[in-house]
Amino acid sequence: MVRMPESRPYHHGDLRAALLSTAERTLRDKGAAALSLRELAREVGVSHAAPGRHFKDKQALLNALALAGYERLAQTLDSADDPALPLEPRLSALARAYLTFAIENAELLELMYARKHEPGASEQMAAAVDRTVGSLARVMADAQQRGEIVEGDPEFLNLVTGAALHGMAGFIAGGMLTPETALGSVDGVVHHLLHGLKPR
């Protein structure tokens, strides 16, 4: 009697978490183009159909990865924030936390900022962006109320700050700035952001 090979199990203790963890490792090591639900199923050890219970396609997986990244970034920024501090050291701590996240999760951060998410995920993405990038705008609004910075639209002031930080993250990812140099220059960058380049 011919024995049929056993099929791979359909179930897994926490398949969604296992798929996301494996996908993030693939993203970090090989890039988004290398991600495949079938390949992830093979690596996790389940049937090729099993991931479909959690992600209808590769884009849904990418959306979930991006949302998980925003959640981690939000936790990172929350942990670094101390509203009792004056703005300059407060902003320096947040900037350092953001850049550390960017250094450790360069490929994930690029995916988070990609604008190719499916329409169904746009509301979740907007909320995730508000929890992270938007939190810096609230820091600016806080500082305005305390008279630490000029009046104006906090969103615009946040744009200036975010552009500087993300620009540094881009320089690190492109090899134009070492992580050590970037992190070592945070205080100076924040100081110039707050005080400008004009002689006083």
**What confidence score (pLDDT) does residue 133 get?**
83
CB neighbour class for 169 (10 Å; exposed up to 12, middle 13-18, buried from 19): buried
| Region for 152 from its dihedrals, namely left if φ exceeds 0, alpha if ψ lies in -120 to 50, beta otherwise | left
Q: Rounded mean pLDDT of the chain?
A: 87
Over range 84-113, report the average pLDDT: 95
Over range 160-165, report the average pLDDT: 91
Tell me the pLDDT tens digit for each residue of 187-200: 999 999 999 888 87
Is position 64 within any domain? no
107 and 27 in contact (C-beta within 8 Å)?
Answer: yes
Is position 66 within any domain? no
Tell me the pLDDT tens digit for each residue of 61-93: 999 999 999 999 999 999 999 999 999 999 999
Residue type, 41: A
Same domain, 81 and 135: yes
Give 5 or 127, the one with higher predicted confidence: 127
DSSP-H helix ranges across the chain: 15-30, 37-44, 58-80, 87-104, 106-113, 122-145, 154-173, 179-184, 186-195
Write out the residue range of the structural domain in which residue 112 sits. 73-195
Same domain, 43 and 110: no
Same domain, 51 and 142: no
CATH number, domain containing residue 152: 1.10.357.10
Domain count, the chain: 2
Same domain, 40 and 124: no
